[in-house]
Amino acid sequence: MIHSGNAITVQMLSDGIAEFRFDLQGESVNKFNRATVEDFAAAIAAVKGNNDIKGLIVTSGKSSFIVGADITEFGDNFAQGEAAIAEWLGPVNNIFSSFEDLDIPKVAAINGIALGGGFELCLVCDYRVMSTAAQVGLPEVKLGIFPGFGGTVRLTRVIGIDNAVEWIATGAQKKPEAALKDGAVDAVVAPEKLQDAAIDLVKQALAGKLDWKAKRQEKLDPVKLNPLEQMMAFNSSKGVILAKANPAQYPAPKLVLDTLQASASMGRDDALKAEAQGFAKAAVTPQAGALIGLFLSDQVVKKISKKHEKNAHPVNMAAVLGAGIMGGGIAYQSAVKGTPIIMKDIGNPQLALGMKEANTLLSKQVERKKLTPAKMGETLARIRPTLSYDEFKDVDIVIEAVTENPKIKEAVLADAEKSVRENTIIASNTSTISITRLANALQRPENFVGMHFFNPVHMMPLVEVIRGAKSSDEAVATTVALAQKMGKTPIVVNDCPGFLVNRVLFPYFGAFDLLLKDGADFQQIDKVMEKFGWPMGPAYLIDVVGIDTGVHGAEVMAEGFPDRMKPSYKGAIEIMYDNKRLGQKNDVGFYKYELDKKGKKAKKVDPASYELIAPMVTGEKRAFDDQEIIDRMMLALCNETVRCLEDNIVATPAEADMAMIMGIGFPPFRGGPCRYIDQTGVAEYVAKCDQYAHLGKAYEAPQMLRDMAANNKKFYG
Ligand SMILES: NC(=O)c1ccc[n+]([C@@H]2O[C@H](COP(=O)([O-])OP(=O)(O)OC[C@H]3O[C@@H](n4cnc5c(N)ncnc54)[C@H](O)[C@@H]3O)[C@@H](O)[C@H]2O)c1
């Protein structure tokens, strides 16, 4: 053994070729954490001191190659400030470059995922062979940063400006064919042939059949284009990339383009310095803080779900009651992810509609060649439409998604319970009815939970799992496990009106109504909130959700939290409802909707809605400053999120933030309500609450925030 560290071993194979193997001890994946970087330096020194090594292959002892840098270490590093971040990268880059500079040919044998720092290591090698099972890429922009271990420098020189900009600025993960086509890897082979193929390339290099020194030199030199050609290449790709990502919301792609443009005419070492400086600029943006935080919160949520695993019962067969919008969607999603499901309704036409929905979604995938007709058939066969409870004794979980009416639901749940086994879990997809209340209709309330999907089921990633007063750990755990199996992210919450997501959303609609009453223009509010980062403004959103659904939800919330969700006036949303304007459902709401050329509903301004709102306006006609709109809307939403933490409806800020991002489209680059409060500064945020407290309880700072401000505490870090 030439080197044996805790991340890397180096040993001689034969013919002077050594294997440089990454296998981080005590971890399931390889990553570039501090320990690996240190061991990397030691392993390079060992190779340097061994004259018998004529060439080497770089391999992984895990099923993935190297998944990237260790994101959990970013917080500490990035907190040091821009200059310190750039400085931190210098020594790491020196290690990577010293590996590149070893005077022997090196070939990366990419067996699995090689992302970020992992792929940057591959780029340091002279050649790259990729298994058909692997994927490569530089996804750092998704975290608000960009590659910092030489990836921008080397990839640009290996695959050219246009391709490199596309790879880096989109952060796309590339399959073998795409990587080979762009020249990012030199060969693609079957997994079992990978090692031999890599050794063969080293041998060819050693035999002089491949000019590996010339190939390496290209990575050390400036990009081979004259300044005019460079400018043209950058300008054309800039247009495409920046049209996709708004730099005010996602600054990293623009920052990386600027860096690439500056470093293209530099040699490697200067280009690496430029990369480090650009990287540091991106790393200190609030967006990077939010997106990295989000990645870590996602890990927290996954860990919490994993903890439930030990209590979960296996689900081999599910059932859904109701074949409507939600029931049909749930059946489709279950079938697609491999769990057979019985779909029960009260009439054949409803069942046919539920099946039609699944059929349409699957046919689209077949058209796009993402699914074979045979697989489509198999998937459809997993949904069994029925009018009876006959086969319910085989079912491990029943998801109730019938009409939102407590009496109907209670009757349906009680019937279902009689038809299933004693240990079958029963879950309700209700959006507004208390789980603890519905449980009263059951003989075995411990087997009962809420399982709140969002519409459309196949698109929306979140499932709220609601623990009622009597729900057992097994019932919660089984529902969490099924949600995961269905490809969703479950977040467990306690029971209260609106559960977590709707409880937080309704004060936001309340703030919208109050702004309109005070004389604000709903189109301005939509524009401001969309510019802030929401996928749609509140007027458009309530039109999409359905004004009737909104009014019904508001009634439930007003009853549950009258101190802050029961307005003393009739709001614009209710006025729309009174005038039978239901939103997209009947093509008139705040806006009116007409089909565009592609057959999609396009929103149009409708003077009629302004006429309806005019009589409710009691405020003086005045212009509303964008920031006032943002503050009033966001305070109502964020305060209620904090109240959910105070009331233990949701256990952690990480889960609350993830739920709002996945459930209602909270702007991801702002990291969620708790992160937004942190980034505003807790004391500054409380001061804003005080400024707007006269508007009502919804705007008053929750005690938790006052305590945090007094103790200089934040939600994160
Ligand atoms: N639509 C949404 O955006 C949304 C989002 C989340 C949750 N939900 C909740 O999901 C549930 C269903 O909503 P939906 O929008 O799919 O409603 P829907 O009206 O589209 O479908 C309800 C279905 O239930 C069927 N049904 C009625 N009584 C039944 C019975 N006794 N047995 C079997 N089926 C019966 C009806 O025939 C209908 O097909 C409601 O609780 C709703 O609050 C809806």
Q: What is the pLDDT of residues 365-387, one digit of tens each?
A: 999 999 999 999 999 999 999 99
Predicted confidence (pLDDT) at residue 713 exceeds the cutoff of 80: yes
Is residue 502 a known part of a binding site?
yes
Predicted confidence (pLDDT) at residue 479 exceeds the cutoff of 80: yes
Residue 237 confidence (pLDDT): 84
User: pLDDT, tens digit, for every residue of 115-154?
Assistant: 999 999 999 999 999 999 999 999 999 999 999 999 999 9
Q: Are strands 462-467 and 489-494 parallel, antiparallel or unpaired?
A: parallel
Whether residue 408 has its Cβ less than 6 Å from ligand 1? yes
- Give Cα separations from 486 to 190, 313, 373, 389, 639 (angstroms): 30, 15, 21, 23, 32
What is the C-alpha separation between 237 and 57, in angstroms, rounded?
34
Whether residue 290 has its Cβ less than 6 Å from ligand 1? no
- Centroid of ligand 1 to alpha carbon of 637 (angstroms): 27
Domain boundaries, the chain: 3-284, 315-495, 501-711
Predicted confidence (pLDDT) at residue 226 exceeds the cutoff of 90: no
User: pLDDT, tens digit, for every residue of 23-71?
Assistant: 999 999 999 999 999 999 999 999 999 999 999 999 999 999 999 999 9
CA 27 to chain centre: 24
- Which residues have a Cβ under 8 Å from the Cβ of 335 and sit 6 or more positions away? 341, 358, 379, 380, 382, 383
User: pLDDT, tens digit, for every residue of 155-192?
Assistant: 999 999 999 999 999 999 999 999 999 999 999 999 99
User: pLDDT, tens digit, for every residue of 642-701?
Assistant: 999 999 999 999 999 999 999 999 999 999 999 999 999 999 999 999 999 999 999 999
Residue 244 confidence (pLDDT): 83
What is the C-alpha separation between 365 and 444, in angstroms, rounded?
41
Whether residue 346 has its Cβ less than 6 Å from ligand 1? yes
Is residue 708 a known part of a binding site?
no
Given CATH 3.90.226.10, say whether it is the number of domain 3-284.
yes
Whether residue 653 has its Cβ less than 6 Å from ligand 1? no
What is the C-alpha separation between 327 and 379, in angstroms, rounded?
16
Residue 9 confidence (pLDDT): 98
Q: Are strands 114-115 and 106-110 parallel, antiparallel or unpaired?
A: unpaired
Residue 76 — pLDDT band, cuts 50, 70, 90?
A: confident
- Centroid of ligand 1 to alpha carbon of 351 (angstroms): 12
Mean pLDDT over the full length of the chain: 96
- Centroid of ligand 1 to alpha carbon of 459 (angstroms): 18
Find the distance separating the first CA and the last CA of the chain, reported in whole Å: 42
- Burial label for 492, CB within 10 Å (0-12, 13-18, 19+), is buried
Whole-prediction pTM: 0.93
Q: Which atom of ligand 1 is nearest to the CA of 326?
A: 16
For 315-495, CATH number? Answer: 3.40.50.720
- Active-site positions read 452
Given CATH 1.10.1040.50, say whether it is the number of domain 501-711.
yes
What is the C-alpha separation between 396 and 518, in angstroms, rounded?
52
What is the C-alpha separation between 325 and 140, in angstroms, rounded?
37
CA 151 to chain centre: 24
Q: Contact at 8 Å (CB) between 289 and 297?
A: no
Is residue 237 a known part of a binding site?
no
Is residue 182 a known part of a binding site?
no
What is the C-alpha separation between 610 and 590, in angstroms, rounded?
8
Whether residue 357 has its Cβ less than 6 Å from ligand 1? no
- Centroid of ligand 1 to alpha carbon of 355 (angstroms): 15
